Amino acid sequence: MITKLSHLCVYVLNQDSAYDFYVNKLGFAVHTDAPMGEGARWLTVTPPEQPELEITLFLVAEGGMFDKETVATMTSLIKKGTFGAAVFTCNDLMATYQELLAKGVVFKKVPTKEFYGYEALFLDDSGNWFSLAQVN
Amino acid sequence: MEQYEKLYLYKRIVQSKLFIDKHFADNIDLDNIADQACFSKFHFIRLFKSIYGRSPHNYLISVRIEKAKKFLTEGVSVLDVSLRVGFDSPTSFAATFKKMVGKTPSAYRGQAMIKKLAITANPLSAVPNCFAQTHGWTK
């Protein structure tokens, strides 16, 4: 029986920039930031009220699982906004939306009433999109 | 029209929250923030609480404690942390920290240092094996 989700991968194009986005703009906490040698880095962050869920900010770079062609393809797809990575929830969407806007976060959908509550869509610094929802 | 008024109120409350986020280490006067946001103190506290689920004062304390956790994890001394996050005294900082986090700042710092040393000594201990293998991180 599966019980919980512990790690979630988000593919990013620059880990320094992703750190700034997820920590300083979204307000996530750094769980682990460990150098893995040869420029590689294991970087995970957690949502403020979900410290047990590690979001791994995976760098798309050559080596390991990615060859040059895969890196080029992944980079292009991420930049195009192909990947919707996850749904985040908040208590007050309008306040969260205003705060993230003030911090320079780009939204591709403004807060909109849906049958389950309110939803907006924002992009991270790489181009991944996320849903931000206030559920009824 | 009502929607625009509501949006305007939201923007002012969010700005005051961002002000607290930025100036958490200063001697923040909540009367002053309420004035700047053009609210009476009572109205400001009520609106802030309705949006963020806690009073501006409680929010300020929670921001200070979260920042303190970050500094302690980085190895900053408890005394320095208490000053950096805006507490009047290390004693009041330690008491508030323990009340909110469940352990003393020294204990929190000690545990964070142990974790940091363990990861430094063996970075792979922090990475699930499936990810380590796909990256070619085997030793």
Q: Which of A54-58, A84-88, A121-125, B34-38 has the lowest mean pLDDT?
A: B34-38
Within a domain: residue B32?
A: yes
Mean local confidence (pLDDT), A38-56: 93
Within a domain: residue B5?
A: yes
Domain count, chain B: 2
* Residues within 8 A of B (CB atoms), A 21-40 only: 29, 32, 34-37, 40
Q: In angstroms, rounded to a whole number, what is the distance separating the alpha carbons of residues A93 and A130?
A: 14
If asked whether residues B49 and B86 sit together in one domain, one would say no
| pLDDT above 80 (res A112) | yes
Q: In angstroms, rounded to a whole number, what is the distance separating the alpha carbons of residues A27 and B100?
A: 19
Banded pLDDT at B139 (limits 50, 70, 90): low
If asked whether residues B26 and B3 sit together in one domain, one would say yes
What is the structure's pLDDT at B2? 59
- Measured between beta carbons, which residues in chain A are less than 8 angstroms from residue B52? 91-92, 95
* Residues within 8 A of B (CB atoms), A 66-85 only: none
Residue A17 near residue A130, CB atoms below 8 Å: no
- Measured between beta carbons, which residues in chain A are less than 8 angstroms from residue B18? 99, 102
Kindly state whether A110 is in contact with chain B, defined as any CB-CB distance less than 8 angstroms: no
Instruction: Give the tens place of pLDDT for each residue, B16-56.
Output: 999 999 999 998 878 777 877 777 888 889 999 999 999 99
| pLDDT above 60 (res A68) | yes
Domains of chain A listed by start with CATH number: 7-135 (3.10.180.10)
Q: Do B126 and A34 touch (CB under 8 A)?
A: yes
User: What's the domain range around B34?
Assistant: 1-53
Long-range contacts of B87-91 (CB under 8 A, 24+ apart): none
Residue B104 near residue B135, CB atoms below 8 Å: no
If asked whether residues B10 and B74 sit together in one domain, one would say no
If asked whether residues B67 and B129 sit together in one domain, one would say yes
Q: Do B137 and A40 touch (CB under 8 A)?
A: yes
B51, B66, B123 member nearest A95 (Cβ)? B51
If asked whether residues B68 and B5 sit together in one domain, one would say no
Instruction: Give the tens place of pLDDT for each residue, B44-94.
Output: 899 999 999 999 999 999 999 999 999 999 999 999 999 999 999 999 999
- Mutation to test the A interface, candidates B11, B22, B52, B74, most A Cβ within 10 Å: B11
From the number of C-beta atoms within 10 Å of its C-beta (0-12, 13-18, 19+), residue A5 rates as exposed
Residue B131 near residue A65, CB atoms below 8 Å: no
Q: In angstroms, rounded to a whole number, what is the distance separating the alpha carbons of residues B20 and A55?
A: 27
Within a domain: residue B58?
A: no
Long-range contacts of B121-127 (CB under 8 A, 24+ apart): B123/A34, B123/A35, B123/A36, B123/A37, B123/A42, B124/A36, B126/A32, B126/A34, B126/A42, B127/A34, B127/A36, B127/A42
- Chain B residues with CB within 8 Å of chain A CB: 6-7, 10-11, 13-15, 17-18, 51-53, 66, 70, 119-120, 123-124, 126-128, 131, 134-137
Mean local confidence (pLDDT), A4-9: 94
Kindly state whether A8 is in contact with chain B, defined as any CB-CB distance less than 8 angstroms: no
If asked whether residues B119 and B68 sit together in one domain, one would say yes
Q: What is the ipTM of this complex?
A: 0.84
